[in-house]
Amino acid sequence: MNETFSDEFIKSLKKFSSVRKRIVNKIDKILQHPLMGEPLKYDLRGLLSVPVAKNFVIVYSYCRICRKRGDDKILRCHDCSDMIDETVRFFDVGPHDKAYEID
């Protein structure tokens, strides 16, 4: 499995050091089972989220799903076509409201 981490994700990982271990464990699980996440809707369609703690989520995409959906408007996976199918891309981690923000 190929994986990428956004700058935002790395920043958040440093910021939320108290739950870093849980986040890292969850990343491992996602890489083993990329379909485990809950599909997001509307502006975030094509992305998936997995809870780490209460109101605290990891937001990612799995490029095999990006393509299956044939959705060319996946906002954050804009350079999807450069990625192999078996790529998990981590976009953000943090409290709900923040992690779902679109930049």
- Positions that interact with Zn ion (CB under 5 A): 61, 63, 66, 77, 80
CB nearer to Zn ion: give 52 or 63: 63
Burial of 18 from C-beta contacts in 10 A (0-12 / 13-18 / 19+): exposed
Q: Three-state DSSP class for 47?
A: coil
Minimum distance from residue 3 beta carbon to Zn ion (Å): 12
Q: Are 56 and 94 within 8 A, CB to CB?
A: yes
User: Can you point out the beta strands (E) in the chain?
Assistant: 2-5, 38-39, 48-53, 56-62, 87-95
CB nearer to Zn ion: give 97 or 103: 103
CB nearer to Zn ion: give 54 or 84: 84
CB nearer to Zn ion: give 31 or 80: 80
Minimum distance from residue 66 beta carbon to Zn ion (Å): 3
Q: Are 50 and 26 within 8 A, CB to CB?
A: yes
